[in-house]
Amino acid sequence: MKHLICNLKANFNLEEILDYKKNLDNLNDIENLIVCPSFCFLPVMYSKKFLIGAQDVSEYGNGSYTGKVTVRMLKSIGVSCVLLNHAELKNRKNKVLAKLKKCVKSKMPVYIFISETMEEHNYQYTNKVLKEQISYYLKNIGKEDYQYVSFIYEPNWLIGEKPLDSKEINNIVYILKKDLEDTYKHTFAIFYGGGVTLDLVKDLKESYVDGFAIGNNSLDVNNIINIVNILKK
């Protein structure tokens, strides 16, 4: 079964997040679900039924870094993975790399968002651009750490718009995975995010896409139930 990552972003108060968790805990067969709430809600969202992930992490270790949350802190409260390089954070790639290095050093799995621009997509440079982004990160970590790295292809120029056609998504992911396997002799998981609909999930259920990442659509538990049910069939 493919994985589903839910990025809750900056939503919910304590009462609302507890109700949200209660609804999720009532579901069955959701072990492939990863929920990423705000930092302050990570401890209360811990569950034996699904995994919790962090929306970001500090590029620093312990020290005088007011307001930062480190990998060591996240691991101590049961966080299973970290999202890196979401478009809304506007991180420079060297900062993302520093965070990646901290994570893999501590054996913390990461999901790195990658994207092209609209112009690059229109000129059919998508796979070239995505591979260049991935290569920047991979050439700066050891081969033994590849196992902790996955990628989320989310074309940020489509945020709030309709997603790409399912056949195009599958083709992009297929070519990218093949190129990476040929180059790095490792099979990397690649997810799709951005405008994920039930129809898109149905179309990509039997595809090279390893899972899906949803943002605002994850705020309604019913949406999660519907996607999980499709993936389970």
Helix (H, G, I), strand (E, B) or coil at 4: strand
Q: For 162-191, write each residue's pLDDT tens digit.
A: 778 999 999 999 999 999 999 999 999 999
d(CA 9, CA 228): 20
All structural domains of the chain: 3-232 (3.20.20.70)
CA–CA separation, 107 and 82 (whole Å): 11
Instruction: Specify whether the CB–CB gap between 75 and 112 falls below 8 A.
Output: no
How distant is the alpha carbon of residue 233 from its chain centre?
A: 23
| Phi/psi-derived region of residue 85, left when phi > 0, alpha when psi is between -120 and 50, beta in every other case | left
pLDDT digits (tens, 9 = 90+) for 99-154: 999 999 999 999 999 999 999 999 999 999 999 999 999 999 999 999 999 999 99
Question: Is 233's pLDDT higher than 80?
Answer: no
- Residue 115 in contact with residue 152, Cβ under 8 Å? no
